[in-house]
Structure formats: structure tokens, C-alpha cells
């Protein structure tokens, strides 16, 4: 989307997990509304081709679970752009699905934890350190309805997404007396590569629970996300926004 609405003009937006799926779509939308976008992912080739299609986009290959890499990436972005107004953390993995908790290997659980929760923590921590200097910022993390309700067959994913909800609630309060907000979105099913890779039993389980009887769209995710990271959204922090077609009951 581009055109008249330039609400992010002169702002710098960092989007992780932007080589595909929600992150990619959101990066395009933020750029279309005037932001200078820096996209991050661990898939180098896909990230580079994605950056080539977004006007003015910079890109960095980063594994968000790696402390050193995330710290260095934010330093490099500050050196290059001079400011970071928006950080959206879309990088995430599902890991084991359609499997009971007893069937999940410790190493598999650790891998999901490292990306979904440790990675969310690292991105939030280093983003905040730079935003604090200017007393302005919008951080948006991606949780999931699985983190609120717990999906059968997805114990590693559900528990790490519950952790993201706790992280947002805590970090939001830590910075509540500043111009920085920290929020999350908890989507139900959005058709991306992540969902395509799931076991069909798992996809049916999740989609049948949506009262609207359909999946969410990338445009619906982008519309809510862009409001949350806009200057307008100034009295909301530590919150988890629903995007579940009516599935969430709290």
C-alpha cells in the first residue's frame, strides 16, 4: 500500500522475520506509508530479494536468538539510520506440532524457546536501549492465540508464546512513564508458509475453533499492526491485541 497516507514519514522501522509471511507484508506496508525500513531475517537469499522489492529498504542477516548478532544489528542500524522508531518482531517458528508433550524432544523445545521467547527478549531489550535515548518508540511482538489458550499438539509453541505475553506485559510497565510502548498481537490462523508447513490435523484443529469460520488475512494483520506502531497509539502499552476472528475470550 502506498499513496496519501504517509503516517510513518521520517520514521525508521525495523521488522524481523521479514523474508516472508507476516513480516514481509508488514515491511511493505510500513514502507508504503513512508517509513525507512530495515528488514531482518536469517534466510539471506530470500531477505535480499525481498529488500530489492521494497523501496529504500536496508537488510541484515541476523539470527534473533543470538545475543551478539542482535546487539550488533541494532548498533549498526543506529549508526546507519540515526534513529529507531518502530520495531516489529515477526521472526518465529512453530517446531513440533500434532505431537503430545510427551513426544517432544528436549532439543526441539529448546530450539522453539530460543527463537520465540529468547529472541523476543533480545529484540525487545536492544530496541529499548536505543529508543530510550530519544524517549520515543513503538515495539510490537507477535504472540499467538496458542499462548493464551494452549493448542493441543503444540506445547513448545504455546508455552513460548505465553512467555511472549508475559514479556510484553512486563516490559510495557517498565517503560510506561516514557514515550515508548510495548505491545503484542495474538493472531489465530493467518495463511503463511508457517501454517502451510503444519500437519493437516493441526491446521484443522486451529481453524475449526475460529467463530468467524475463516482465517485472518495479511492485510488484517497489517492494519492492526500499523495502528499499534503509530504515534496515535499513545495510551496503550503492555497490551495483547486480539486477532482471532472471535476465538479469544480474554
Ligand X SMILES: NC(=O)c1ccc[n+]([C@@H]2O[C@H](COP(=O)([O-])OP(=O)(O)OC[C@H]3O[C@@H](n4cnc5c(N)ncnc54)[C@H](O)[C@@H]3O)[C@@H](O)[C@H]2O)c1
- Residues forming the active site: 157
Q: How far separated are the first and last CA of the chain, in Å rounded?
A: 32
Using the 8-state DSSP alphabet, how is residue 149 labeled?
H
Residue nearer to ligand X on the CB measure, 64 or 84? 64
Residues that bind ligand X (CB under 6 A): 16-17, 19-23, 41-43, 62-65, 90-93, 115, 119, 142, 144, 187, 189-190, 192-195
Residue nearer to ligand X on the CB measure, 193 or 231? 193
Residue nearer to ligand X on the CB measure, 19 or 228? 19
Q: What are the cell numbers at 2?
A: 502506498
Ramachandran sector of residue 189 (left: φ over 0; alpha: ψ -120 to 50; beta: rest): beta
Q: What are the cell numbers at 207?
A: 481453524
- Residue 167 Cβ, how far from ligand X at the closest point, in Å? 13
Beta strands 36-41 and 180-187: pairing type?
unpaired
SS3 content of the chain, % helix, strand, coil (to 5): 45, 15, 35
Residue 34 buriedness (CB in 10 A; 0-12 / 13-18 / 19+): middle
Contacts (Cβ under 8 Å, ≥6 apart) of 48: 59
* Torsion sign, CA atoms 82, 237, 19, 54: negative
8 A C-beta contact, residue 184 and residue 224 = no
Instruction: Report the alpha-carbon angle 49-54-236, nearest 5.
Output: 120
Q: How far apart are CA 18 and CA 43, in angstroms?
A: 9
Residue nearer to ligand X on the CB measure, 32 or 187? 187
Residue nearer to ligand X on the CB measure, 93 or 98? 93
- Residue 179 Cβ, how far from ligand X at the closest point, in Å? 26
- Residue 193 Cβ, how far from ligand X at the closest point, in Å? 4
- Residue 191 Cβ, how far from ligand X at the closest point, in Å? 7
- Residue 65 Cβ, how far from ligand X at the closest point, in Å? 5
Amino acid at each position: 500500500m502506498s499513496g496519501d497516507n504517509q503516517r510513518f514519514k521520517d520514521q525508521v522501522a525495523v521488522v524481523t522475520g521479514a523474508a516472508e509471511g507476516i513480516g514481509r507484508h508488514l515491511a511493505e506496508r510500513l514502507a508504503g506509508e513512508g517509513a525507512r525500513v530495515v528488514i531482518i531475517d536469517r534466510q539471506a537469499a530470500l531477505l535480499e530479494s525481498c529488500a530489492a522489492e521494497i523501496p529504500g529498504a536496508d537488510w541484515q542477516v541476523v539470527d534473533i536468538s543470538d545475543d551478539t548478532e542482535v546487539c550488533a544489528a541494532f548498533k549498526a542500524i543506529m549508526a546507519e539510520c540515526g534513529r529507531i522508531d518502530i520495531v516489529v518482531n515477526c521472526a518465529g517458528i512453530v517446531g513440533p506440532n500434532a505431537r503430545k508433550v510427551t513426544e517432544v524432544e528436549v532439543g526441539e523445545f529448546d530450539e522453539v524457546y530460543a527463537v520465540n521467547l529468547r529472541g523476543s527478549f533480545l529484540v525487545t531489550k536492544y530496541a529499548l536501549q536505543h529508543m530510550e535515548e530519544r524517549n520515543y518508540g513503538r515495539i510490537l511482538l507477535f504472540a499467538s492465540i496458542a499462548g493464551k489458550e494452549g493448542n493441543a499438539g503444540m506445547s513448545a509453541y504455546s508455552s513460548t508464546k505465553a512467555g511472549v505475553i508475559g514479556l510484553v506485559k512486563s516490559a510495557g510497565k517498565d517503560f510506561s512513564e516514557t514515550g515508548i510502548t510495548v505491545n503484542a498481537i495474538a493472531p489465530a490462523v493467518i495463511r503463511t508458509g508457517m501454517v502451510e508447513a503444519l500437519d493437516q490435523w493441526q491446521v484443522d484443529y486451529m481453524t475449526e475453533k475460529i467463530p468467524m469460520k475463516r482465517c485472518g488475512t495479511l492485510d488484517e494483520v497489517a492494519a492492526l499492526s500499523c495502528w499499534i506502531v503509530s504515534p496515535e497509539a499513545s495510551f496503550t502499552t503492555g497490551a495483547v491485541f486480539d486477532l482471532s476472528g472471535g476465538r479469544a475470550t480474554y
